[in-house]
Amino acid sequence: MANPVRPLLNAHIAVFFFGLAGVVARKIPQQAVIIVAGRVLFASLSLLIILLLRKQSLRILSRKHIFPFLLTGVLLAAHWGLFFWSVKISSIAIGLLTVSTFPVFAAVLEPLFFREPFTWRQLGASFVALVGVVLIIPDFTPGNAALTGALAGTAAGFLFALLSLLNRKYVVLYPGTVLAFYQDTIAFIVLLPFVLVVAPTFSGFDIAALAFLGIFCTGIAHTLFITSLKSLKTATAGILTLLEPVYGMLIAIPLYGEIPGVRTLSGGAVILAITLYISLPKKQSRNITH
């Protein structure tokens, strides 16, 4: 009989590393695009090693899958770029909480992708999530760092929702780790020209931090989470992912002295609550066109 604690522990460790990504990125004195390039480089290498050790096939099953794979790699690069930019110019809390809107975006976009009717549940959730984002922003002055960071984080959440929906078709054809490997590799290839133009210089700390981001916060974390999904219920996994911003904000307190204010916490609570609601198994929803 399988130990039920092990998958749960693996999922917690994975989510902890996911939450740590923004905290580590904030410490690296490089542009967001350079941090993303370093992350996906080390991530693709670590995932390749994992796949080779498991003797998993890397074969692409159809030429028709090449363009979607390229598109998801571009989306992944843009998603992480916006997220890292968000935490650098605003705060860990704002970046993590606004990017956590992605399940709501996914729920709203899903009918468009799969030609399903909209429901009041989806539209209501999107409105409540918007209220949460507005609550997080302390100052709406144009050019304000918190406002810009919140918009970047929300845009990152939107792009991740698109990525998740595009992946939905292919997760039944390819193992999650294989998809992640291709997306990370493509993201690095897309970002390589920017790296060559910027021509950054790296310290030993920069390289170590980027390696940690790619290996632990991406390669190992992704593998642990995907493995845990074989034993955990979908609802349980969805609830666990809500701990990502919690872990990140807790770590940011001693490292950066960032203690979220009441307004940020209130907006975050609204976002996480509506994300939990939209992630739970659906009851019979009424079509808004009826």
DSSP characters over 19-36: HHHHHHHHHS-S-HHHHH
Residue 1 has pLDDT above 80, yes or no: no
Q: Which band of pLDDT confidence, cut at 50, 70 and 90, is reported for residue 137?
A: confident
Looking at per-residue pLDDT, the higher value among 289 and 49 belongs to: 49
Q: Do the beta carbons of residue 279 and residue 103 sit within 8 Å?
A: yes
First to last CA, the chain: 48
**Of 32, 47, 7, 49, which is closest to residue 186 (Cα–Cα)?**
47
Q: In this prediction, what percent of the chain has a pLDDT beyond 90?
A: 57
pLDDT classification of 281: cutoffs 50, 70, 90:
low
What residues does 287 pair with on adjacent strands? 119
Q: Mean pLDDT, to the nearest integer, of 104-120?
A: 80
pTM over 0.85: yes
The confidence band for 196, taking pLDDT boundaries of 50, 70 and 90, is: very high
Q: Are 238 and 100 in contact (CB under 8 A)?
A: no
pLDDT tops 80 at residue 121: no
What confidence score (pLDDT) does residue 234 get?
A: 62
Under 8 Å CB-to-CB from 20, ≥6 apart: which residues? 216, 217, 247, 248, 251
pLDDT at residue 233 tops 90: no
CA 78 – CA 159 distance, rounded (Å): 8
Asked if the model's pLDDT at residue 287 lies above 70, the reply is no
**pLDDT at residue number 277:** 81
Residue range 175-203: mean pLDDT, rounded: 95
Of 260, 255, 251, 234, the residue nearest 98 (C-alpha)? 260
C-beta of residue 35 within 8 angstroms of C-beta of residue 211: no
How confident is the model at residue 167, as a pLDDT?
85
CA-wise closest residue to 77 among 15, 171, 159, 22? 159
Binning pLDDT at 50, 70 and 90, where does residue 37 land?
Answer: very high
- With a cut of 50, say whether residue 204 has pLDDT above it: yes
pLDDT tier at 252 (50, 70, 90 boundaries)? very high
